[in-house]
Structure 1
Amino acid sequence: MKADILVIDDTPENLNLLSAMLTEQGYKVRSVTKGSTGLRGAQAAPPDLILLDVNMPQMNGYEVCEQLKKDDRTREIPVVFISALGDVLDKVKAFAVGGVDYITKPFQVEEVLARIETHLTICKLQKELQTQNSLLQQEIRDREKAEEKFKKAFRSSPNPIAIATLEEGTFIDVNPSFLRMSGYEQYEVIGHSAAELNLGIPQEIYEQALQQLLETGSLQNQECEFRTKNGEIKSVLLSVELIDLSGIQCTLNIVNDITERKRLENEFISLVSHELRTPLTSLMGSLDILCAGKLGTLTSQGQNVLRIAITNTERLIRLINDILDLERMKSGKIAMQKVKCNADKILNQAVESMESLADRSQIKLIAQTLNVEMWADPDRLLQTFTNLLSNAIKFSESGSNVWINTELKKTENPDFDLILFTVKDRGRGIPADKLHLIFERFQQVDASDSRKKGGTGLGLAICRHIVEQHEGKIWAESTLGEGSTFHILLPCEKTPSS
């Protein structure tokens, strides 16, 4: 059904002609002979368009149109006058009271239909425009509310926050918490970059963070140092998000001051080192003496209890050593002792050290190594490979294989190529939602693994730190139920023939 049209004309012949003509074209038509009746009908059920005669008794067309335009229900309905009055003043008055068009009788059918279609189209477009304007106004209001909330959160946040341009890195706004932590006044910060203010963030770390930001759109909890105006060095976690401000790409930088937490961590490490490791070592020695039978023979039940005690004590010692190892690496207290070493030799040592564990688990280790010279810390790389092999063996089914392969990657750098190590298993695999977490501290695929497999949840975090301190990359790929592959990419010296 096309539009709904109301025809108001006191001449029955005109009504019949118009009704028949419009009905034939598919319009829904309502016809009345009195202006007051037409007015009530329009108010009760507003039509899409009104055809209105001028000369009518009691209430003429001009008066009807004026009443229509005063009522909110009928104000927007287009009114087309149809009249035998052809004087210019009559037409002017019709437009003055709110009419959109004026057709002079006798009319041509094609002309009436064309004008009706035109005004219905205009009315439809106006409604669509009004709807779009309403949506736009609502969007503007919503955005203003969001901006107001952001401003309040920005100003009142206890965390230091700074907004800087992405291209130049200059600060365009900072919140009061940032000023309190840095010791600067706002005029000293705005328009300057972190490098100009000597905030202590190394350029290489900033560039790496920027690259990650451009690749992923965000950077979460990058640990770095922050230098205040008076030279005090603070430990902070930096999180960065890309935002758009009036068409300019900017970074939203949120700083979390962890200086006090780092101090407490150091105190905890000291406590673990001096107060826990020494008595545990002594306890382990006593348990070994008991196990050797030097203090008498235990019953089978006593021997079983002793084995459980030794297993748990060994696990606790491993956990403490891993915590100390990891924290010392993070703090720089353990430096990589890099020397010229051979990748083939390190891998073979790792395989040999894991052979007994593999045999007990009925796992076959398959190694494909390369005779490549590297500038690295052999002990730390050995620790990394044995850790990865140990994990692969623990989580593989009896009778399966574990592969460790090496592959040389040529580069255009005149000094070094890249060597890719892979450790692959056919174990249970890692769920996709856990894959990005496994290199974090105390992250395990299954919480029961520490009890069943004897792990501490720190091995992969240590591997990551060792690889990163060798200017390399470590990552994992896995399919649940099919196995996992761990990749390590490290630089190696180019041979003269390369």
Structure 2
Amino acid sequence: MKSQQLESHLANLLVVDDTPDNLRLLSTMLSEKGYKVRGVINGEMALKAARSTPPDLILLDITMPQMNGYEVCQHLKADCRTSGIPVIFLSALDQVLDKVQAFAVGGVDYITKPFHLEEVLARVENHLTIQRLQKKLHEQNARLRESEAKEREKSHQLELALQQLQHTQAQLIQNEKMSSLGNVVAGVAHEINNPISFIKGNLCPITEYTEDLLRLVQLYAEDFPNPTAAIQQQLEAIDLTFLRNDLPKLIASMSIGADRIGEIVQSLRNFSRLDQAELKAVDIHEGIESTLMILQHRLKDEADQRIIKVVKEYEALPKIECYAGQMNQVFMNVLTNAIDALQSQKSCAKEAGDSSQIPTITICTKLLSEVQVGIYITDNGPGITEEVQQRIFEPFFTTKKVGQGKGLGLSISYAIVVDEHGGELRCFSVPTQGATLAIGIPIHHSKKRFSK
């Protein structure tokens, strides 16, 4: 225990924050706990500091000028010298999409400002411990590879056991992230629901009150056709005729907006089933729709224009007996992979000057029989080679660049569909002609197999 504490206190930390007070506070309190702390105020300095003397862990602010925290993290993960350094994001941003993006670019944790000393220290120590254990595992692997021929078989077995341990650990981390995301989404939905319910509940009486007041003004105008100069001046100033016509339209527009927010809240609630562990009958379309809503930021550009078309071909399906949170995780992983493929293809087409094809994801659901349903998610991206298809569900296998993926999404999805639900997950693809991920799920939880 003393040895572990000593190692923790000798850990080298890099703190990145463009607010001097925050930087000073973090540096002081971490130094007092025995850590070696370096502080920098922008992204460029952070990259130089990390590459010159790689730290054991980085605390990284998101909102910074010139280069934000997400961009800094992407550069770190793309560089083999810094890709293994754990990054904990610090931000006053507390939206679900901000946290999802933080994990997507390679962050291992997310601390919301204003932060608490105990929380920061606990998370720092936790990830330093994981980092030390991973380094020890790598060192043990290196020693095993250098052992004599008579020990090679034993080394192979230990390596297999280590991979299984890493896989299990990665699954636990992924499940914890998704569960935390579900909790955050549920909290956001709850917080939005209260004020929007208040607004929607008051729109009806506001409409009635407005109509009553406008009617009263009309009666005054009829009974007193010759108003005083002051009243006449005010009537001209407010343009009463325009106000009478426009005010009901404004209230109607507010009602439509409130209804839309209500729909978003319902989608958030559906997605928050991530933290529900029990088996229950659910509408699988609700899970797909809520996942699409969470991924809206990746389907549109900064001008809110749709850059990836989504086509839905839903059949009427009965409710499916499943673990709703796990199935939402499958939809999230499969749709994210499809979006990644389309965005990669779009970048290549842009470089080649060809933008004729519209990036499209087609989601099709079918009632295959009385006992099973199929969900088909198809993209018109670059497709997948036969060689890659054979390995696509293997743990840690990925075709993405370093720092852009850990090769766990489809592996975890396969385990959820096949092991947990007795279904089947298949990939059908021809290079240059897109790819289809076919998900087969029994209507009643069982071990029945899936047939296309």
Structure having greater relative contact order (Cα 8 Å, sep ≥ 6): 2
Normalising by structure 1, what TM-score?
Answer: 0.28
Normalising by structure 2, what TM-score?
Answer: 0.31
Q: Which has the higher strand share?
A: 1
Rg (Cα) greater in structure: 1
Q: Which has the higher helix share?
A: 2
